């Protein structure tokens, strides 16, 4: 039997109708995650055609993108400032009730960012196909699931049929060796991978992250890496499930229990690329040479190590436009760049381990004068656990604002904005023009780099804060 990659195994297990030259494959979807931004039009199509949700038991909704993170607004003590956000929240509440879809609503104790609540509840499991109307659905690939973002029209297709039309992607193995140095994180690793591949280097491919370095990562770290696969243009990212995966999932509310767990575990252990399986492309990364990374431009591929200078790319109009927007210049080093805002959160770095790492840098220190530090947990579960550990007090005593969970300042659609021209060190995943607000200048980095920068009031090296 021909050796198969993990992706090929997942694809074959869910292929209802194979693709032809004229027609995409029909792929079965195991889990459909829904949020308030990309679902209203899809539910409207179902309503207009008199269609039900095909598999309500495989559909779960949450509220994250538009939800305010200030408690007064979130819980109705004052009106939501943005009417567009309030309208999207009301629409999902109405649609979930009408179509019988489970919704982790505003006051639900398990509400949070869609790509955080799936794993922490045990909804995300190895071997599943998972879709959501959000680009960073690739996060769930950290569990050995084939997970990718879909558009609003496709959200409607999955709601109505539990299937999706898809062309089969190619495969790209990202082989990572070498130990990450102190102060260098999974966020730095994935920024370095995207820098090497470029923002279009993974287009048409599913990335499989492999090697001893990946195997040594925690599940939170693997999720950070897979989360940003789309920023290299990839359709999805994958890590083969292993004992780290199984230990994370065991006992979670929606994970299999008892005999069902034993059966699932037996199946999951086979979800690996076979020895000798051929990938369409391969990329090798030596992680031992990496340093803390930060972006300088207007896409995640425009990044440098903190000890490196912004490169000169003569004749590259896109690069020149990015530097003009960012107010930066070729040859400049990002370390020492003055900043006004720091954001710690998002589906990339809003997990408990991220908050612990940032708190480790901030404990006993204060943010620099004039710097706004916003810390937003990825879910209400994470918020409660962080408060039990006293992390919220560390942040507040350092001068930060501690908020309710949500996407927050990752994107400018919920009231959490960066002012025009201000520099924001952000632990999120995109630094596009205007992503955090009109004219905002986003510098993507890890939680420890973000925390160190908040203390110094300029881009700072977290290695200087290691005890």
Domain boundary among 131, 151, 166: 166
One domain for residues 350 and 456: yes
Is 449 inside any structural domain? yes
Provide the residue range defining the domain that includes 313.
293-465
Q: What is the DSSP track for 287-319?
A: GGG---EEE-SSSTT-EEETTSBPPP-TT-HHH
Query: Distance between CA atoms of 213 and 177, rounded to whole angstroms?
Result: 5
Instruction: Specify the DSSP element, H or E, that contains 14.
Output: helix 6-14
Is 100 inside any structural domain? yes
Question: What confidence score (pLDDT) does residue 466 get?
Answer: 85
In CATH, what number is assigned to the domain containing residue 335?
3.30.499.10
With beta carbons less than 8 A apart as the criterion, state whether 172 and 283 touch: yes
Question: Could you tell me the strand order of the sheet in which 163-166 lies?
Answer: 15-17, 25-28, 163-166
Q: How many structural domains is the chain composed of?
A: 3
Is 50 inside any structural domain? yes
Is 256 inside any structural domain? no
Question: What confidence score (pLDDT) does residue 114 get?
Answer: 98
One domain for residues 152 and 12: yes
One domain for residues 40 and 161: yes
Query: Distance between CA atoms of 392 and 389, rounded to whole angstroms?
Result: 8
One domain for residues 345 and 436: yes
Question: What confidence score (pLDDT) does residue 79 get?
Answer: 87
In CATH, what number is assigned to the domain containing residue 218?
3.40.1060.10
One domain for residues 202 and 162: no
Is 250 inside any structural domain? no
Question: What confidence score (pLDDT) does residue 380 get?
Answer: 98
Instruction: Specify the DSSP element, H or E, that contains 276.
Output: none
Is 102 inside any structural domain? yes
One domain for residues 297 and 331: yes
Helix (H, G, I), strand (E, B), or coil: what is residue 403? Answer: coil
- Indicate the pTM of the whole model: 0.97
- State the chain's maximal CA–CA distance in angstroms: 64
CA distances from 220 to 7, 116, 129, 263 (A): 21, 10, 20, 25
One domain for residues 240 and 174: yes
One domain for residues 297 and 369: yes
Is 249 inside any structural domain? no
One domain for residues 270 and 412: no
Q: Tens-digit pLDDT profile for the chain (467 aa)?
A: 799 999 999 999 999 999 999 999 999 999 999 999 999 999 999 999 999 999 999 999 999 999 999 999 999 888 898 999 999 999 999 999 999 999 999 999 999 999 999 999 999 999 999 999 999 999 999 999 999 999 999 999 999 999 999 999 999 999 999 999 999 999 999 999 999 999 999 999 999 999 999 999 999 999 999 999 999 999 999 999 999 999 999 999 999 999 999 999 999 999 999 999 999 999 999 999 999 999 999 999 999 999 999 999 989 999 999 999 999 999 999 999 999 999 999 999 999 999 999 999 999 999 999 999 999 999 999 999 999 999 999 999 999 999 999 999 999 999 999 999 999 999 999 999 999 999 999 999 999 999 999 999 999 999 999 86
CB-count burial class (<10 Å; 0-12, 13-18, 19+) for 262: exposed
One domain for residues 306 and 162: no
One domain for residues 394 and 440: yes
One domain for residues 162 and 70: yes
Domain boundary among 107, 140, 166: 166
Strands 281-286 and 170-177, bridge-based pairing: parallel
Domain boundary among 166, 199, 220: 166
Is 251 inside any structural domain? no
């Amino acid at each position: 039997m021909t050796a198969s990659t993990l992706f090929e195994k997942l694809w074959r297990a869910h292929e209802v109708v194979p693709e032809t030259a004229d027609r995409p494959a029909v792929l079965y979807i195991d889990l459909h995650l829904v949020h308030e931004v990309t679902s209203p039009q899809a539910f409207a199509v179902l309503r207009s055609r008199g269609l039900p949700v095909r598999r309500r038991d495989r559909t779960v909704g949450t509220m994250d993108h538009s939800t305010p993170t200030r408690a007064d607004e979130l819980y109705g003590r004052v009106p939501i400032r943005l009417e567009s956000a309030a309208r999207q929240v009301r629409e999902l509440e109405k649609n979930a009730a009408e179509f019988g879809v489970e919704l982790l609503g505003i006051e639900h104790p398990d509400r949070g960012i869609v790509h955080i609540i799936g794993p922490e509840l045990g909804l995300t499991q190895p071997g599943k196909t998972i879709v959501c109307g959000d680009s960073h659905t690739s996060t769930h690939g950290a569990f050995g699931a084939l997970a990718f973002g879909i558009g609003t029209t496709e959200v409607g297709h999955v709601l109505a049929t539990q299937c999706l039309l898809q062309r089969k992607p190619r495969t790209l193995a990202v082989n990572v060796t070498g130990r990450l140095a102190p102060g260098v994180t999974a966020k730095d690793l994935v920024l370095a991978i995207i820098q090497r591949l470029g923002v279009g280097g993974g287009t048409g491919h599913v990335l499989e992250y492999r090697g001893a370095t990946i195997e040594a990562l925690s599940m939170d770290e693997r999720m950070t890496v897979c989360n940003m696969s789309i920023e290299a243009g990839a359709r999805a990212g994958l890590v083969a499930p292993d004992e780290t995966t199984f230990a994370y999932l065991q006992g979670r509310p929606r994970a299999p229990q008892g005999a069902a767990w034993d059966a699932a575990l037996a199946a999951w252990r086979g979800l690996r690329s076979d020895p000798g399986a051929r990938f369409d492309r391969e990329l090798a990364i030596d992680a031992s040479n990496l340093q803390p990374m930060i972006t300088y431009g207007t896409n995640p591929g425009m990044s440098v190590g903190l000890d490196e200078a912004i490169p000169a790319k003569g004749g590259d109009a896109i690069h020149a436009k990015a530097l003009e927007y960012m107010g930066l210049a070729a040859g400049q080093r990002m370390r020492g760049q003055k900043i006004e805002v720091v954001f710690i959160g998002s589906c990339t770095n809003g997990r408990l381990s991220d908050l612990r790492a940032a708190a480790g840098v901030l404990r006993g220190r204060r943010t620099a004068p004039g710097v706004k530090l916003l810390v937003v947990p990825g879910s209400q579960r994470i918020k409660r656990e962080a408060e039990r550990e006293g992390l919220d007090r560390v942040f507040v005593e350092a001068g930060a604002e501690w908020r309710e969970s949500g996407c927050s300042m990752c994107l400018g659609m919920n009231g959490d904005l960066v002012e025009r021209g201000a520099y924001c060190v952000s632990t999120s995943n995109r630094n596009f023009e205007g992503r955090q607000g009109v004219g905002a200048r986003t510098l993507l980095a890890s939680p420890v780099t973000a925390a160190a920068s908040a203390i110094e009031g300029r881009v700072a090296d977290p290695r200087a804060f290691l005890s």
